[in-house]
Amino acid sequence: MAGIRYFRDASLPLLEAKKCEAYAISYKKHFHEELSIGIIDKGTSKVWCDGKNLQVEAGSVICFPPYMPHACSPESDYNWTYKMLFIHPKWIHSVFRDDTLPEFPFLFQNQTNKILADGVNQCVSAMEFMMSPMRTEACFIDMIRTMTFKGEDSMKHERHAAEPKHLERIKAYLHEHFKERITLDDLERETGVSKFHLSHLFKRGSSLPPHTYQNLLRINFAKKELSRSRPIADIALEAGFCDQSHMTKVFAHTVGLSPQKYASLKM
């Protein structure tokens, strides 16, 4: 249908995103096998869920558990846009290493809602623009972390798990495989640390998330290859970027110059 788009990444088959823009439709009672998390960008909606009638305003984050019947109807036929994330329970279980799916409220309040709204937008953008699977999955994990935060006890567990040897193993793996499309599952297999904690622990230990560290390794590789007067498009693909445009954007933000200008400098 016009105005509805879905985004998927073959590396992350258990995650999916949806954007509905400039299109109004009332959804009859239905359910998804995935955990569904959405945010209304414009307009308001009447939502029926688990026998309850809810009024959902713009900016609100709403969550439907797997197989929970629900129905949505915009209050205006021309001013209702929203985003949705669909997260398969298998992914949740792999993150928590637990067969029990956490319980989430239908609607979130105050600061939690604000943080989650940012999280949903980041996750959708990551899927839409085909960011690295490591970065995309980290966005989803950060969002779930906000939904399930249990306070100081959880943080103590993470600090206990943040041993230097794990950080060094992650760094070594990134240095060896930075040209590849690395996932958090790869890092979890390498270290034995669950991916729910891994990204956060790496950032605490190195001040950078793993995907940023990987991109910096790619940029440093590109700088060396540019000094050899090689074609920029070839360097971009060899370094692991999607294309020359992607490398140019990351390169300029990191180096301060475009690859073309950097390559033109006298060495």
CA distances from 169 to 99, 148, 165, 246 (A): 28, 28, 6, 28
Distance CA 63, CA 77 (A): 23
Q: Give yes or no for residue 163 having a pLDDT over 70.
A: no
| 196 close to 236: Cβ distance less than 8 angstroms | no
Output the average pLDDT for the chain.
87
Task: Give the residue-averaged pLDDT of 139-154.
Answer: 73
| Least confident piece of the model among 9-23, 71-85, 232-246, 250-264 | 71-85
Task: Give the residue-averaged pLDDT of 3-29.
Answer: 84
Q: Give yes or no for residue 42 having a pLDDT over 50.
A: yes
- What lies within 8 Å, CB to CB, of 199 at 6+ separation is 134, 137, 138, 141, 142, 184, 209, 210
Q: Give yes or no for residue 157 having a pLDDT over 70.
A: no
Label residues 71-82 b or e (16+ Cβ within 10 Å = b). Answer: ebebeeeeebbb
Q: Which helix (H) or strand (E) holds 145?
A: helix 133-148
More confident residue, 104 or 24: 104
Distance CA 67, CA 80 (A): 24
Q: Give yes or no for residue 150 having a pLDDT over 80.
A: no
CA angle 170, 171, 172 (to 5 degrees): 90
Q: What pLDDT is stored for residue 162 in this prediction?
A: 44
Sign, Cα dihedral of 88, 68, 30, 47 = negative
Q: Give yes or no for residue 158 having a pLDDT over 60.
A: no
Q: What pLDDT is stored for residue 77 in this prediction?
A: 58
> pLDDT tens for residues 109-137?
889 999 999 999 999 999 999 999 999 99
CA angle 88, 89, 95 (to 5 degrees): 105
Q: What pLDDT is stored for residue 227 in this prediction?
A: 87
| Least confident piece of the model among 59-68, 115-124, 257-266 | 257-266
